[in-house]
Amino acid sequence: MGRNDDAIAQRKAQHLDICSDAERYAVEGGSTLLDEVRFVHRALPELNEPDVDLGTSFLDMPVSMPVFISSMTGGSAEGYRVNRLLARVAQESGIPVGTGSIRILFRKPDVIDHFMLKRIASGVPVFANIGGVQLVDPAQDPLLELIRRLEVDAVAVHLNPGQEVVQPEGDRAFRGVLDGIARLCERSPVPVIVKETGFGIGPAEAALLVDRGVRYVDVAGNGGTNWVTVERYRMDPAEQEVADEFADWGIPTGVAVAACDSLPGRILASGGIRSGMDVARAIALGAQAAGLALPFARAVVSGGYESARALAERIRSVLRTVMVLTGSPTIDALRRAPLVRSARFTEMTSALREADAERLHG
Ligand SMILES: Cc1cc2nc3c(=O)[nH]c(=O)nc-3n(C[C@H](O)[C@H](O)[C@H](O)COP(=O)(O)O)c2cc1C
């Protein structure tokens, strides 16, 4: 293993350590603003609880509920252990799961097993992960070959300019990423998902991505893990002061989903999704499914398979109860459930739409 390979594996292991130790590291910030949205309670739901069906589809495959485990890890020993556990949780819970970035496989192909989650989670959608900056290079054949070998159902491209720009070893050349994504969409054997990693994607950029062939846009907004804050723990004090000013950076997840309502069936919600109630609100705002990263990482590291499985079941239970109390027998009915949005939420949603359209087209 060369120095660079060591460095990537070590960095990934450090990220997982920082994110999974809630006592020592505070890595979350901002707000999804999902708590500014309320369902209208129905005293007369006019349905029978056993008839409520949480099943839906993800990448045209049936799943047991509109929830997924977001892209996280692989490449280190602990990452491999976590991936195996997450894949089991996904399989048993009937929900999709993502791998962490497969970039390390270009340098260290021997860890491919860390990313072969389909062997464990054969009954649910599994998606691989790669950085947008890795797509700028026009030669995508090695990536396409890897995607085939991993036998995944999709590939998620992560956009993380915030993290890259503060990371000492980060890639800072962001020009050409959109064209790189379009090239991947043309040639990829599986659908392409594009995600942020906690700072959000606005409606104009989401529309651009869908226009270039992207199947799902995961807004991955503000309100959960903040990757500048994660990197802050790896910085010297002067750099930390710069990072501190970005503790609340980004588009709140709830507002990003609401502002993307012209792209039905194309939007995934993640970034700060922490409960079944958050999932329910995100679905009613227009998301196809909602994803969690940090809570699953913490559950699996602190309590193993059982804790992560219990988290999935808690989410299911709350989602089911919301469906009963809003008179929604199916997930499609939940998507149409009326919502009361605060004035702040409504204002922020329309302000985001306007500002975003101006930025790209004005
Ligand atoms: C330990 C850890 C590792 C992560 N690694 C990746 C990664 O390799 N690729 C990626 O797209 N996102 C990665 N993420 C970001 C998540 O997929 C997600 O977008 C982000 O953490 C926001 O969701 P959350 O608030 O639920 O954590 C990682 C998150 C965590 C907690």
pLDDT in tens, 38-86: 999 999 999 999 999 999 999 999 999 999 999 999 999 999 999 999 9
285 alpha carbon – ligand 1 mean position (Å): 22
196 alpha carbon – ligand 1 mean position (Å): 9
pLDDT at 168: 81
* Tokens 């008839």 -> residue: 51
Over residues 170-192, the mean pLDDT reads 96
227 alpha carbon – ligand 1 mean position (Å): 8
- Are 270 and 292 in contact by the 8 Å Cβ rule? The answer is yes
CA distance 298 to 309: 12
Q: What does the pLDDT look like over 236-249, one tens digit per residue?
A: 898 899 999 999 99
CA distance 76 to 236: 25
Residue of 357 and 3 predicted with greater confidence: 357
Q: What does the pLDDT look like over 134-145, one tens digit per residue?
A: 999 999 999 999
pLDDT at 198: 97
Per-chain mean pLDDT for the chain: 95
Neighbouring residues of 15: CB distance < 8 A, sequence distance ≥ 6: 73, 230
What residue segments make up the domains of the chain, in order of their start? 37-361
Is the minimum distance from the CB of 76 to ligand 1 under 6 angstroms? no
Q: What does the pLDDT look like over 274-332, one tens digit per residue?
A: 999 999 999 999 999 999 999 999 999 999 999 999 999 999 999 999 999 999 999 99
Beta pairing class for 192-195 and 154-158: parallel
SS (H, E, C) the chain: CCHHHHHHHHHHHHHHHHHHCCCCCCCECCCCCHHHEEECCCCCCCCCHHHCECCEEECCEEECCCEEECCCCCCCHHHHHHHHHHHHHHHHHCCCEEEEECCHHHHCHHHHHHHCHHHCCCCCCEEEEEEHHHHCCCCCHHHHHHHHHHCCCEEEEECCHHHHHHCCCCCCCCCCHHHHHHHHHHHCCCCEEEECCCCCCCHHHHHHHHHCCCCEEECCCECCECHHHHHHCCCCHHHHHHHHCCCCCCCEHHHHHHHCCCCCCCEEEECCCCCHHHHHHHHHHCCCEEEECHHHHHHHHHHHHHHHHHHHHHHHHHHHHHHHHCCCCEHHHHHCCCEEECHHHHHHHHHHHHHHHHHHHC
pLDDT at 238: 87
pLDDT at 4: 61
Is the minimum distance from the CB of 72 to ligand 1 under 6 angstroms? yes
pLDDT at 5: 65
% of the chain beyond a pLDDT of 70 = 98
CA distance 61 to 152: 13
pLDDT at 201 over 60: yes
18 alpha carbon – ligand 1 mean position (Å): 12
pLDDT at 2 over 70: no
Is the minimum distance from the CB of 75 to ligand 1 under 6 angstroms? no
Neighbouring residues of 192: CB distance < 8 A, sequence distance ≥ 6: 154, 155, 156, 157, 181, 184, 185, 213, 214, 215
CATH homologous superfamily, domain 37-361: Aldolase class I (3.20.20.70)
Over residues 259-275, the mean pLDDT reads 97
Q: Phi and psi for 70 in degrees, rounded to 5? A: -70, 160
| Nearest ligand 1 atom to alpha carbon 98 | 17
pLDDT at 358: 84
pLDDT at 361: 65
pLDDT at 210 over 60: yes
Interior angle at CA 177, CA 175 and CA 182, nearest 5: 135
**pLDDT band per the 50, 70, 90 thresholds, residue 1:** very low
Is the minimum distance from the CB of 163 to ligand 1 under 6 angstroms? no
CA dihedral 273, 101, 205, 281 (to 10 degrees): -10
CA distance 127 to 124: 10
335 alpha carbon – ligand 1 mean position (Å): 26
